[in-house]
């Protein structure tokens, strides 16, 4: 083993160990764990300037992009496994509207705001359609794990249908954001025509193929794994289900579909199948999902320098405010006459924390050849941090103030 590889193992092992402890501490003090993990990565010197000579960075953008894409697949697959279809069914229609129509509407509103600016503050990049679409799509999805971690102190005291709606929306809208961001990058590289028809065709193709292949892959996996349910075979089950997931995501991407949507749908099929033991599957993949989530936020913190976040902070504040206004308009319009009163709609609006998806797609943009890609990670990191700080600490008090949390 080379000295460089040994050094990397020591550094990343230590960072992952510290991230695990920080995540546990965050749960005790009731703050999102990803906030502390992001700060850990941000404060770590990726350029290793303290070492003699000119050592390579701990993590390059290409490596970070590869880790982020795989991590996102593992996180969404686990999200599908843990989604209870019976509990989600009563809120499926409004959640689906929020996740699809609502996400597209949010991205469209933000796209219009960015186009109206004409230029990205602090840079020489003009706001064209691909750039504006990417910025809007990057922050249009919400993070279920961050929101549910914050609402955990109110478990059993907040109406369950609100929790189910927030969780269901967050699970469904991630593929929407990823597909729109991928389309924006393809347009920026000249691989897609900037017409409304091409947008509709490309998004429809990726969604239909992703959902279809995810369902077929999940059904095949259910038949393959249904006979391997004893607790003693948990390790074998994790290997087999992970192998099926790798085959499914790779094949879906090669066919032109959305791999992460296929991963989520396959997890949803497996997790709600009577032939499979859901508890065994969750136990098999809980460790993968937690490691993937920690690595994702560590990667973001490592490839972004603190001074870049400071430079992009003003722009991040502007985008955060515009994002909140866009979500407010979206929730009010999509959930109008859907059985949710004004207080509930306001809580749903404020529960729209951003997390894994903006991080992953921002790293993807930075690793690509688009001219504005390097500006995306600091911007995404600033927006995510603002949401975790401002929304994160105000969500529980807001629920109590709105009268949505019953007394203890």
Looking at residue 231, its pLDDT comes to 44
Looking at residue 105, its pLDDT comes to 93
User: For residues 352 and 277, what is the distance between their CA atoms, to the nearest angstrom?
Assistant: 32
Looking at residue 79, its pLDDT comes to 80
For the chain, what is the mean pLDDT?
Answer: 81
User: For residues 367 and 10, what is the distance between their CA atoms, to the nearest angstrom?
Assistant: 25
Looking at residue 275, its pLDDT comes to 75
Of 40, 27, 35, 20, give the one whose Cα is nearest residue 299.
40
- For residues 55 and 66, the answer to whether their CB atoms sit within 8 Å is no
Looking at residue 323, its pLDDT comes to 92
Q: What share of the chain is helix, strand, coil (3-state, %, to 5)?
A: 75, 0, 25
Token pair, residue 174, equals 């991630």
What's the pLDDT tens digit per position in 201-240? 777 787 888 889 999 998 888 887 765 545 445 667 778 8
Looking at residue 134, its pLDDT comes to 92
Output the CA angle 68-73-75, nearest 5 degrees. Answer: 90
What's the pLDDT tens digit per position in 44-54? 777 665 555 56
* pTM for this predicted structure: 0.81
Looking at residue 322, its pLDDT comes to 92
Return all residues near 203 (Cβ < 8 A) that are at least 6 apart. Answer: 179, 180, 183
Domain ranges of the chain: 61-401
Residue spans of the chain under pLDDT 50: 229, 231-232
Topology, domain 61-401: Na+/H+ antiporter like fold (1.20.1530)
């Amino acid at each position: 083993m080379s000295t460089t590889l040994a050094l990397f193992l020591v550094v990343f092992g230590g960072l992952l160990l510290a991230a695990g402890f920080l995540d546990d501490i965050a749960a005790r003090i009731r703050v999102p764990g990803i906030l502390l993990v992001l700060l850990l990565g941000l404060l770590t010197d990726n350029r290793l300037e303290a070492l003699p000579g000119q050592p390579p960075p701990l993590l390059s953008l290409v490596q970070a992009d590869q880790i982020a894409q795989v991590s996102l697949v593992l996180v969404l697959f686990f999200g599908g496994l843990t989604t209870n279809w019976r509990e989600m069914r009563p809120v499926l229609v409004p959640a689906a509207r929020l996740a699809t129509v609502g996400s597209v509407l949010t991205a469209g509103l933000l796209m219009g705001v960015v186009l109206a600016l004409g230029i990205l503050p602090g840079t020489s990049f003009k706001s064209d359609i691909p750039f504006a679409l990417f910025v809007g799509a990057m922050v249009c999805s919400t993070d279920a794990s961050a929101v549910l971690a914050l609402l955990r102190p109110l478990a059993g005291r907040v109406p369950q249908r609100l929790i189910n709606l927030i969780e269901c929306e967050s699970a469904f809208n991630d593929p929407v954001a990823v597909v729109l961001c991928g389309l924006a990058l393809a347009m920026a590289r000249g691989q897609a025509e900037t017409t409304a028809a091409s947008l509709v065709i490309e998004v429809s193709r990726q969604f239909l193929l992703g959902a279809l292949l995810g369902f077929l892959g999940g059904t095949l996996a259910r038949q393959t794994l249904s006979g391997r349910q004893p607790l003693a075979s948990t390790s074998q089950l994790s290997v087999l289900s992970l192998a099926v997931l790798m085959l499914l995501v790779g094949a879906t991407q090669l066919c032109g579909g959305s791999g992460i949507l296929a991963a989520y749908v396959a997890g949803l099929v497996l997790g709600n199948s009577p032939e499979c033991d859901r508890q065994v599957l969750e136990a098999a993949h809980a460790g993968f999902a937690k490691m993937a989530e920690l690595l994702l936020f560590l990667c973001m913190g490592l490839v972004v320098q603190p001074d870049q976040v400071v430079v992009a902070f003003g722009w991040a504040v502007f985008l955060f405010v515009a994002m909140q206004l866009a979500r407010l308009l979206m929730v009010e319009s999509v959930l109008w006459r859907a059985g949710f009163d004004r207080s509930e709609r306001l809580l749903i609006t404020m529960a729209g924390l951003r997390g894994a998806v903006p991080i992953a797609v921002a790293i993807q943009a930075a690793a690509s050849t688009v001219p504005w890609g390097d500006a995306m990670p600091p911007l995404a990191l600033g927006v995510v941090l603002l949401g975790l700080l401002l929304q994160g600490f105000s969500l529980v008090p807001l629920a109590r103030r709105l009268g949505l949390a019953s007394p203890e």
